[in-house]
Structures are given as structure tokens and as C-alpha cells.
Structure 1
């Protein structure tokens, strides 16, 4: 996906020149895949450009969405993206670290594409470190924030590289969460999986059925989009 100054979707445009984290395919998959049905209040942790909030607002036509972003430039750009979208009256942005964020209500659903590289070498560019690495938000802090902000019967949707996803899943399960949905994302069939998308609920209310699926972005030729990928993103991507 070209990293232009903006990315146009069918119902909104995401401007991204001030954000370390650009629009990327895996985040779009999360926005289209996350379980947000029947949610009245949704929280987006680490809003970045506002992409997830905008996608979720398109999919759930009545939910009120709060979005938290720590980086000032990303916060202001997300604000511009939201204000110029059809969903501006349902999305509210907060310039805050989620560890310090407080709300008068709990959320039915949380979506997050968190800083996920727990141990990789840091970039000399601090904004990229904050966006890509768990420098400002580690697994324990993230789980504590989710525990504090989510309704008892609520669920959260999260995106990680595969290895970090396995680490996070272990910590989440040790903290009393159960994995109820998982999507493993591949570039194409003969490539190694590169992302894991997961939905968790508290163990005491989670159903016994766990749904695990694989998805490929491309068919074997590496250029033709996989039909399942096209079906998932057809309401968002102009080319579909």
C-alpha cells in the first residue's frame, strides 16, 4: 500500500503526513474484521490517524466512539480526519496516554493496534519508536487499561505480529482473558504468517467455541487479491 500523504476510502479519507504510523493493510483488516456488533460505546486505544475509529464507525451506525492518542501531531491529524468524515458527530478524540485516560462510562468493545515490538532495536526517530515499539505502552499496562475501561461482558480486538501475538495471548490468558476469535494473516499461501488478529473476552463469560481462521491478501501469483480479502474490504477500498 503506497504511503502517500492521504489514503482515500469509499466513505472517508485518511490524511497521514503527520503520523508515524501510516495506513497499512493489516490495520485495515483489523478495522473490517473486529467484532463491533451490538456495541453502544467503543474505545480505540492508540488512534493514530483515526483509521480504526472511522472504519468502526462505518460498520456500526449508532455506536459512540472514543479514541485515545498520545502523540500530539497524530492526535491533531486524527481530529482533522474525523471532522471531515461523515461520522464526526459520533467520534470523540482524547489527547492522552491510555494509562492516564479516564471515562465516565465503560466500553462494550475496545479496538487497538498497539505499539507491538517489545524487544526489537529502537529507531533513532522517537515518534517511530512510540508508534512501533512498546516504549510508551507495554503488555501489562495495556491489559490493565483494558481491564479498567471495558464492561465486564465486553470484548477487545487487537492486532500483533505473530510472535508478539503469542506472547500477548499468554499474558492475557494468565490475566483471566479467553481468546474467542483469531485471524492469522498471510501475504500469500507460500509465505509465513505475519499478523495475528485476536478477540478476547473475560474467561467467566466467554463461550466455549473459539473460531480460528486464516486469510491471505494475495493469491499465489502475488498480485491478484484473494477473494476472501476482497470480500472483507469491499465496503472500504475504492479498487474493490
Structure 2
């Protein structure tokens, strides 16, 4: 369904994964302040690539394995304000690694994360939600190959798969530099994690982000984070 933000419009019809709060929070949180090149892995509707274009002057490559979703992303980018800075490619990330020697200063990804459980018969949606075509190991290997030495990668994951992700990360050169617990409603437990990875390592910066108050209104921190995007803020 159409989804309108302050500076661009997303039509995610036919896309495996519709625009979600996860994507908006990740796209608004990722530290793009010193990034001239950005890679969006599994761009889906193109929302993260467009958010990165709004928040930076970077040149952006957005890769998408699913052909239908790739066509959706291309249309959204073409209709947006920054088509000259975003290139959408129909390719899986492992094939992109094999054919590209380009390094990126920032990599952003809202990856498929369900490891088990029932899957929809819609193949595009199943692949967008489950690690059928992109395992954590393959994602981390790809990020390690494509990230510049001083760059960083930003992801959002459910809390319940953190152990699995960190296990895959432990055999790579990348390390967690920031970890933010995303709490849906004040007083509830965290449901998502924002992770920033880099090659430098060191002490992990631990933070939390509460999205809504108990009356379902956005918290001040959520408003501050997303007011450049949501129409009603």
C-alpha cells in the first residue's frame, strides 16, 4: 500500500516486505554523517535507500534479490527526489560481492531474520522474512567484504535472534560497536535491537530507545529520531 513520508513516497505493492516501523527506525538511526558511499542490502521497496539519500549526500547502491521487489524499488527511486544518487540492482548480495571491488563507508540492512517457524506461501514475503536466501553468516561475510576499513554497518534484529547473529559474527573481523534495545512501549521489554558494526572493536556503547508512551503516543526520543520523515510529527 502507498506510504507517504515528508520528502518522498513509497508504494510497496507487490513487495515481499511492506514498509515497517523497523525500517523507519533503522533508517533514521544509522550514523551517515561521514558516509559518501552507502550500500543498502535487500532494499525491498527502497525505503532505506531513500532515507539514506534524504539524510546524506552519499552515492547509494541498493541491491535486491527478489525481482518483483527490485522493480518496486526502481519505481520508487525514480519517482523520488534523488534518482541520480541511488542505483538499484537486481542481484543477490553474494553475487554482488563476487563481481564488485567497490567498498562502502556505510552498509545498512533490515535483514530477513526468522530462522524457523511457519512460512507464507508467498515466496517473496517468505524470503523477505526468513533466512532462506540470506543467512546471517552470508550477510556478515558480505558486509565484511564490502565495508571500507573505517566504515560501519547498521542493522535491526529481533532480540530473540541476537545469540544466533553474534555466533555468526564471532568468526568474522566485524564487531559490535553500538547496541540499542528498542522498547515498543514504556515499561515493556525490548523487542528489537539496533546494532552498529565496525572493524575497530572496543567498548560497546549500550543504549535504549522507547518508541511509545503507555497512552500509545510517540515518546520525545522517537519524535526527535523520526520527525524528518513522518508526516504527523
> Structure 1-normalised TM-score?
0.92
Q: Distance in 2 between matches of 1:26 and 1:106?
A: 26
Is 1:120 aligned with 2:114? no
Q: Distance in 1 between matches of 2:166 and 2:25?
A: 19
* 1:135 matched residue in structure 2: 132
Q: 1:7 aligns with which of 3, 18, 38?
A: 3
Following superposition, the deviation at residue 152 of structure 1 comes to 1.9
* 1:216–1:229 CA contact under 8 A, matched in 2: yes
Question: How many residues are treated as equivalent by the alignment?
Answer: 231
Comparing 98-107 with 193-202, greater Cα deviation is found at: 98-107
What displacement does 1:104 show?
A: 4.0
Structure 2 residue 44 is the aligned partner of structure 1 residue 48: yes
Quick one: distance in 2 between partners of 1:166 and 1:10? 36
Q: Deviations over 1:62-104 (max 9, x none)?
A: 2100000011111011011101111111000100110101324
Please give the secondary structure, in 2, of the residue aligned with 1:47. coil
Q: Please tell me whether residue 225 in structure 1 is matched to residue 225 in structure 2.
A: no
The equivalent of 1:189 in structure 2 is 186
**Unaligned 5+ runs, structure 1:** none
| Contact in 1 for aligned 2:212/2:218 (Cα 8 Å) | yes
Higher helix share: 2
Q: Which runs of 4+ in 1 moved over 4 A?
A: none
Moved more, 63-72 or 116-125: 116-125
Q: Which residue of 2 aligns with 1:162?
A: 159
TM-fit CA distance, 1:176? 2.7
- Is 1:75 the counterpart of 2:60 in the alignment? no
Q: Could you tell me the TM-score, scaled by structure 2's length? A: 0.95
What is residue 171 of structure 1 aligned with on the other side?
168
